[in-house]
Amino acid sequence: MKSTSTATSKFLMRMGERLRERRSELHITQAEAAELLGLSLSFYGQIERGARKLSLEDLVICQDKLGIDPTYLLTGIRPLEKVVSNYLEDCPNENRYDFEQMIKYAANLYKNKEK
């Protein structure tokens, strides 16, 4: 039973770290994040420290108010399509076509690998 508690504790700590990272990216304080999410400052601080967990509803609110993907918040894995779309948005117009072709080529290689 103790290992489950330890695993849960580590999970919550990593989730809190990802939430703290996002808050830092947004340049907001814990108090501002707590207010955006409709949580008390104390409760929000406990979440960032890994002492408390978010409800499903809170995860959806985090996505809406802080722009953090729930999958990333829970697992630390960033959805590939969002990462690629960020690169595409930042790509200069004169290089966009080449970049899109490179993505299509990579996708085809991946599909052929699965066969």
Stated length of the chain: 115
CA 21/CA 48 separation, integer angstroms: 10
pLDDT of residue 4: 55
pLDDT of residue 109: 86
Token digits of residue 84: 């690629």
Q: Give the residue-averaged pLDDT of 35-59.
A: 96
pLDDT at 115 over 70: no
Classify burial at 11, counting beta carbons within 10 Å of its beta carbon; exposed 0-12, middle 13-18, buried 19 or more: middle
pLDDT of residue 63: 95
Side chain identity at residue 88, one-letter code: L
Cβ atoms of 59 and 22 closer than 8 Å: no
> pLDDT tens-digit profile of 60-106?
999 999 999 999 999 998 776 667 777 788 888 899 899 889 888 88
Cβ atoms of 8 and 15 closer than 8 Å: no
> pLDDT tens-digit profile of 24-46?
999 999 999 999 999 999 999 99
